[in-house]
Amino acid sequence: MTHGPILLGVVGDSAAGKTTLTRGIAQILGEANVTVIGTDDYHRYDRHQRAELGLTALHPDCNHLDIMQPHLALLRSGQPILKPIYSHKTGTFEPPQYVKPNQFVVVEGLLGYSTRAMRDCYDIKVYLAPPESLRETWKIKPDTLKRGYSEAQV
């Protein structure tokens, strides 16, 4: 019997450890067998616009959930998507990328379980919720080293 791609969800707040866990999963399964989809790419507004609107990226309105949902369904059925790209380095969007699902697809991000239709796409769902004090500590390093924030801004 043939089976389409296996979809794994890794969802949780910023700095909950999603990227770290996803990298480990990809190493174990073999990088060539895994397609990683970061749902930060589905942000609706860039960093500057979010600041102007007074919204954080965790707000559902700040994300194209309506686009994310059919994309998950396409990947689940083995079909390619034209995925948006959000750059954490610049806080802006880049040209979209053609992405084909490998044997395993890991979907990691903030709001990957927002609707029933999205949740139904996954074979395995993980939700990461480390203690808040630990998450705050974990948030400082990537935001100051890779995203251009000062420690005070984080």
Binding site for ligand RUB (CB under 6 A): 14-15, 18, 40, 47, 57-58, 88, 91, 110, 147
CB 48 within 8 A of CB 91: yes
C-alpha span between 72 and 33 (Å, rounded): 17
Q: Give which of ligand RUB, ligand ADP, none residue 58 binds (C-beta under 5 to 8 Å, depending on kind).
A: ligand RUB
Could you tell me the sign of the dihedral formed by the alpha carbons of 91, 97, 100, 102, in that order?
negative
Angstrom CA distances, 66 to 48, 60, 105, 117, 126, stand at: 22, 10, 19, 11, 22
Spell out a b/e string for 101-132, using b for 16 or more CB atoms within 10 Å of the CB, else e: bbebbbbbbbbbbbbeebeebbeeebebeeee
Nearer to ligand ADP, 77 or 109 (CB): 109
Q: Give which of ligand ADP, ligand RUB, none residue 101 binds (C-beta under 5 to 8 Å, depending on kind).
A: none
Tell the smallest beta-carbon distance from residue 3 to ligand RUB (Å): 29
Nearer to ligand ADP, 100 or 141 (CB): 141
User: Of 118-147, which residues contact ligand ADP (CB under 6 A)?
Assistant: 138, 141-142
User: Of 3-22, which residues contact ligand ADP (CB under 6 A)?
Assistant: 12, 14-20
Q: Give which of ligand ADP, ligand RUB, none residue 17 binds (C-beta under 5 to 8 Å, depending on kind).
A: ligand ADP
